[in-house]
Amino acid sequence: MHILTNTYYVFQPPAGAGQYVELDMGCGKGSFSLQLAQRYPQRLLLASDLMMGRLASLQRKRERLGLSNLLLLRASNLALASFQLPPQCIDRLHLLCPDPWPKRHHRIKRLVCTDFISRLQRILKPGAILHLSTDHQPYFEDWLKILSRFPNLVDCPEGIEDISDLKSDFERQWQARGMPVRHLSRKLVSTQS
């Protein structure tokens, strides 16, 4: 596991030339990352979160399954997007069920906002896919408004067709309670100035 918190370290993904790199930001318990790493052994999978307990348990599963293509980062989403990853290093970025902070006075804590999407673009390769999901309909609607400010991120449902059967831990929990989880995927067609 790579610990990036409280450092200015820039993590260089150890990808081979032309290797496809995916990032599961705020991976939580990491079922989604594990499934993805098993499905695509030739790809490099980065799974990041702040919570050590969750990462440690994911690390044990990774070792049991011998998934050397899955690397764990203890890092904040904002730091990864802002400076702890090099520019244009990610082919597909997943941000699944980020905390919706549904109470009005907590909304300030929400991760997805115009500034965060701008920062995420920095680490996406041209043509990369941005994949978001949430169970919280108002948050989803906010995303649509935010993303409408980024004409260079074009709707691309086919960008996640290959993984429509893979569920994150939170998505499974919500589905078990009969609550639908909505997904969206956008393709970066050019970098906004």
* C-alpha to C-alpha distance for 5 and 8, rounded to whole angstroms: 8
Q: Are 148 and 100 within 8 A, CB to CB?
A: no
- Say if CB 21 and CB 43 are below 8 A apart: yes
The residue sitting closest to ligand SAM, measured at its beta carbon, is 28
Three-class SS state of 161: helix
Which is closer to ligand SAM, CB of 78 or CB of 146?
78
Helix, strand, or coil here: 2?
strand
Task: Tell me if 92 contacts ligand SAM by CB under 6 A.
Answer: no
Q: Which of 26, 92, 120, 128 binds ligand SAM (CB under 6 A)?
A: 26
Is 169 catalytic? The answer is no
Please identify, among the stretches 39-47, 149-157, 167-175, 185-193, the one whose residues bind ligand SAM according to the rule CB under 6 A: 167-175
**The one catalytic residue among 49, 99, 115, 162:** 99
**And the tokens for 40?**
């695509």
Strands 70-74, 124-134: parallel, antiparallel or unpaired by DSSP? unpaired
Q: Which stretch binds ligand SAM (CB under 6 A): 9-17, 58-66, 144-152, 169-177?
A: 169-177
Residues that are catalytic:
99
Binding footprint of ligand SAM on the chain (CB under 6 A): 26-28, 49-51, 54, 76-78, 96-99, 168-171
